[in-house]
Amino acid sequence: MKYFTKEWYELCSKTTLHLALEEEKQAEVFSEGYFQQLYNAGLESWLDLQEEVASLMKKNESMNANDNNEASFNKEKEIEKFYDIFIYNQEQLKKKLPDSILKQIADLRVFTLDKATKTVINAVAKFCKENERSVTTTGECYIRYLEKSSNILDQEIIENFRFHDCMITKSVQKDTSITLFLDNSGGFTDIDEVAFNNFTIIKQEGSLDDSWWLYEELYRVDDKYEFHVLLQDNKRCLIDFIFSADQVTFKRNKVGNCSLFANPAE
């Protein structure tokens, strides 16, 4: 990846850290009592929500003859889940916030529960806005690259090779071709299968199956297209997948397909 790198993707996650923060004077100093108050309130809200969701699911299941009662509410498990999420979010904040801001936070646990002083909120908002500008600039640079390369890149491939938020459910490699089967229910395309012929792997850091498609880049190298893809596996690890091919076939919901070549004369 030249534009939408792993570092760029990590920067994307540092553009919204300020949105849920609420100003609270009590966050100025470390207070175990205040933290416990916030934590308990957050836990109660979580339990109420999960119990409501379980109740609604159970009602729906009761209308199904194959009801298996999987939607039962388990309070102890939900308490553990809330704690695990809280700890995960706290560790992520340690990684994402710069030391200059972390030093201003009296109790990171309180910050994790979305309470902070006005000074800290302003500092985090500034940090996020700077990151957002960098993220946006990168996207704009890639768009300009595509515009400048319009004479060597097939417009139909540019328009079709966009699978953000799709999942690769299965990949099948045979000889010099590979076919990717997509769950596009969360994406922005009606394409659910894409095949690449005369396919050569340049870089592949992990398994393709059951990975989320995040971002892609398209290049023309000699007589082939070079495809750069940033994926995320089910353990949230980022994967670079780079390969070349000279023919691409897109299939839409099993009712039609379009084959495109690297060399328009073919």
CB 20 within 8 A of CB 249: no
Is residue 144 domain-resident?
A: no
State whether 126 and 167 are in the same domain: no
CB 39 within 8 A of CB 152: no
Helix (H, G, I), strand (E, B) or coil at 201: strand
Is residue 139 domain-resident?
A: no
In sequence order, the β-bridge partners of residue 181 are 170, 193
Total of domains in the chain: 2
In sequence order, the β-bridge partners of residue 212 are 167, 232
CB 170 within 8 A of CB 195: no
In sequence order, the β-bridge partners of residue 96 are none
Give one DSSP letter per residue of 77-112, joined into a string. Answer: HHHHHHHHHHHHHHHHHHHHS-HHHHTT-S-HHHHH
Strand spans (E) along the chain: 22-23, 115-116, 167-174, 177-183, 191-197, 200-204, 211-221, 224-232, 238-245, 247-252, 256-261
Write out the H or E segment, with its range, that includes residue 61.
helix 32-62
Q: Look up residue 91 and give its two tokens.
A: 């560790």
Is residue 146 domain-resident?
A: no
User: What is the structure's pLDDT at 62?
Assistant: 67
Is residue 148 domain-resident?
A: no
User: What is the structure's pLDDT at 256?
Assistant: 53
State whether 162 and 89 are in the same domain: no
Instruction: Give the DSSP letter of residue 37.
Output: H
State whether 80 and 114 are in the same domain: yes
Instruction: Give the DSSP letter of residue 42.
Output: H
State whether 246 and 185 are in the same domain: yes
State whether 129 and 178 are in the same domain: no
**Could you give the CA distance from residue 153 to residue 259 in angstroms, rounded to a whole number?**
15
State whether 127 and 14 are in the same domain: yes
CB 74 within 8 A of CB 114: no
Is residue 1 domain-resident?
A: no
Is residue 43 domain-resident?
A: yes
User: What is the structure's pLDDT at 72?
Assistant: 79
The whole domain housing 81 covers 6-133
User: What is the structure's pLDDT at 28?
Assistant: 97
User: What is the structure's pLDDT at 223?
Assistant: 87
Per-10-residue mean pLDDT, the chain, length 266: 97 97 97 98 97 88 58 90 98 97 98 98 98 98 96 93 97 95 95 96 96 97 94 95 96 66 53
**Could you give the CA distance from residue 63 to residue 56 in angstroms, rounded to a whole number?**
11
**Could you give the CA distance from residue 222 to residue 149 in angstroms, rounded to a whole number?**
14
Chain-centre distance for alpha carbon 202: 23
State whether 191 and 224 are in the same domain: yes
User: What is the structure's pLDDT at 265?
Assistant: 42
State whether 183 and 98 are in the same domain: no
Q: Look up residue 192 and give its two tokens.
A: 């659910």
Query: What's this model's pTM, rounded to 2 decimal places?
Result: 0.84
Query: For residue 104, with 0-12 CB atoms within 10 Å meaning exposed, 13-18 middle and 19 or more buried, which class applies?
Result: middle
